[in-house]
Amino acid sequence: MGQCASSSRNAQSEAQRPREETKPTLADMDFKLLIRQHSDFILPLFQQVALREAQENVALSPISITVTLAMVAAGATGATLDQIVSCLHLSTPAFLHDFAAQVRSVVLADASPHGGPLLSFANGVWVERTLPLQPSFVDTVKSKYAAVAQPADFLNQAEKARIEINTWTKNETKGIIEEILPTGALDANSKCVLANALYFKGAWQNQFDTSLTAEEEFYLPNGKTLRVAMMTTNQKQEITTHDSFKVLRLPYNKSGDGRFFSMYIVLPHERNGLLDVEKLVNVDFLEQKLVKSTEVKVRSFKLPRFKVSGGYEMPEVLGKLGLTLPFSNQANFSNMVNSPIGKSLSVDKVYHKAAVEVNEEGTVAAAATAAVVMLRSIQPMEDFVADHPFLFVLKEDMTGMVVFIGHVASPTSQN
C-alpha cells in the first residue's frame, strides 16, 4: 500500500509553476482511474483505524474525510497543498477539486428519485467574520463543493458557533450524527471550520422476512458470546468462497440512472481471523473480491442486524500516512484568507464520525467530518453464518467508490 509522501523537491518545484496556465478537468482522465488511485489513501487509512480499534466496532466514510481535506486544500498553497494532493493520490489540485465535484453532483447525488437509495451529501464552511477571504477560495468552495462560506464569531462566541455547526451536521445527517464538534473544540483562536455530512438510506433489492429473525449466539473478539438478532433467508444469495474468507454481496434497489450500491460482508473462516483478512484489503481486493457474482442456493444463512458507529480524531492517523504539514507551523493557508495571517494558520483538528445500521429492510448510514483551522453454473449449496466479527464495505459498484467501510466486533454495541 502506498503511503502519503512528504513534500519533495520535485513537488516544491511543481508548486512554483503557475497552476492557472493549465486547468485539466475530469474529462481528461478516467474517473474510475482516479477512484482506483484514491484507494491507495482510503484503504491504509481504514487499516490504521481498524488496527487501533481491533476489539471495537469501526465505521468510517473515507469519502467524507477526503472531501473535507479537499476543501482544506482549496485554501492551501505551496508544499502544504502539494502534500495534501499527494496524500489523497489525486494527481493535481485541479483533479482534486473536480473529483470532489463529481462525487457530490453525480456519484453521491440523491438516487431516490430514480428508485435508488436516498442520499444527502453536503459541505459547509464557517469563517471568523473579521477575516477577509480570498476570492479564489470562495469561488472554489462554492463552484466545486456547493458550500457558501458563512461568517462566524469565533472570537467572541465560539460556543455558539460550535452549536450552530453541530445543528447543521445533525440536520444534514437526519439526526444520526448529533455532534461532530465536542465541547471545547472551538475557541477564540479558531479561524475556520470546514465540514462534510453524508447520509445514506438504502433498501435491499431482496428484503429479509422479519418473522424469521431469531436470537442466536455471536462470538465476540474476547471469546465471550452475545445473544443477537440474526436475520435469515432461504433465497439464493451472491456468496463467493476464498482461501480464508467468504464474501456476501447484498445489492440495494438499483437506481434508474445506472448507479447501483451494494453492501459486501467479508466473513473470515476463523472466528478470530478478522485482523488477518483486513491485512488483505487493497485495491485488487476491492476490484477482484468485492464484485457481483452468481447467486447460489443457501443451506444455513445467518446475518446479524447491526448498528455500529465510531468517532475519531484523524490528525494522528493522517500523520502516520505522511500528512503532517497542514497540522504544523510550516503550514501555508494564504490561499484561504486575504491577509498575512494566512501564513500563520494551521489545521488543529479533523473530527470524523460515522454510523451504519443494517436490518431486514436495508441500511441507514451517516457520516460527518470537520476540520478546524486554528491560528497555527450448478453450484453446491453454501453456508454463510456470520456469528463472529466481520468486515463490511458499502460501495457504488459502477465506479467502485467506497462510501462506508468498517468492521463489526459486536452487533449491538456502539463506540
pLDDT score for 258: 86
pLDDT score for 376: 60
pLDDT score for 23: 39
Boundaries of CATH 2.30.39.10 in the chain?
Answer: 205-307+378-408
State phi, psi for 293 to the nearest 5 degrees.
-140, 175
Is 0.85 surpassed by the pTM of this model? yes
pLDDT score for 379: 53
Task: Return left, alpha or beta for 84; rule: phi > 0 is left, psi -120 to 50 is alpha, else beta.
Answer: alpha
Residue 274 CA neighbour count, 13 Å, CB half: 28
Is residue 329 classed exposed, middle or buried when 0-12, 13-18 and 19+ CB atoms within 10 A define those classes?
Answer: exposed
pLDDT score for 28: 43
For the record, the C-alpha cell of 410 comes out as: 459486536
pLDDT score for 20: 40
Give the pLDDT of the chain (415 residues) as one tens digit per residue: 444 433 333 333 333 434 443 433 444 457 888 899 999 999 999 999 999 999 999 999 999 999 999 999 999 999 999 999 999 998 788 889 999 999 998 889 999 999 999 999 999 999 999 988 999 999 999 999 999 889 999 999 999 999 999 999 999 999 999 999 999 999 999 989 999 999 999 999 999 999 999 999 999 999 899 999 999 999 999 999 999 999 999 999 988 888 899 999 999 999 999 999 999 999 999 999 999 988 999 999 999 999 999 999 999 999 999 999 999 999 999 999 888 888 888 888 899 999 999 999 998 888 888 888 777 644 567 889 999 999 999 999 989 999 999 999 999 754 4
Cβ-proximal residues to 50 (8 Å cutoff; 6+ apart), any chain: 58, 275, 278, 406, 407
Architecture of domain 205-307+378-408: Roll (2.30)
Cβ-proximal residues to 30 (8 Å cutoff; 6+ apart), any chain: none
pLDDT score for 72: 94
The CA distance from 7 to 34, in Å, is 21
Instruction: Check if the beta carbon of residue 409 is closer than 8 Å to that of residue 57.
Output: yes
pLDDT score for 380: 67
Rg, C-alpha atoms of the chain? 22
The CA distance from 82 to 326, in Å, is 10
How far from the centroid of its chain's Cα atoms is residue 274's Cα?
A: 20
As beta bridge partners, residue 59 has 406
- Taking the domain 9-202+309-375, which CATH number applies? 3.30.497.10
Instruction: Check if the beta carbon of residue 122 is closer than 8 Å to that of residue 197.
Output: yes
pLDDT score for 17: 39
pLDDT score for 413: 55
pLDDT score for 21: 37
Boundaries of CATH 3.30.497.10 in the chain?
Answer: 9-202+309-375
As beta bridge partners, residue 362 has 203
* b/e map 115-124, b = 16+ CB within 10 Å: ebbebbbbbb
